[in-house]
Amino acid sequence: MEADDQLKDPFPLFQIDLTLDSESQPRYSSNPAEISLVVQHIFDKGINNLKDIPSPEQKLLPHFFKSNVKSYLKATARPLYRPEDPD
């Protein structure tokens, strides 16, 4: 890695500016719901990428794994829908 790369500012995931609307009321420049969706998308993408990493135990302890079937890390999954709230 070059020294110039270390000095660069990191690229933000999103940017929020506080502005004033026509009635001089403070307002965010971005919709908070969109920011939440961006964070959820990045989280889901990271969790899905974990499933593609080979299991280190199979390489470190080959005497425990007699088959040649590759195993991958187990990762949690976020449900596709929100559960119903209890009564």
The pLDDT tens digits of the residues spanning 43-63 come to 889 888 988 888 888 888 888
For residue 2, pLDDT over 70 is answered with no
pLDDT at 6: 65
Q: Cα–Cα distance between 58 and 38 in angstroms, integer?
A: 35
**pTM of the full predicted structure?**
0.56
Which range among 7-11, 37-41, 47-51 shows the weakest confidence by mean pLDDT? 7-11
CB of 51 closer than 8 Å to CB of 75: yes
pLDDT at 71: 83
Site of tokens 């559960």: 83
Q: Report residue 66's pLDDT band, with 50, 70 and 90 as the boundaries.
A: confident
38-41 long-range contacts, CB within 8 A, separation 24+: 38/13, 38/14, 39/13, 40/78
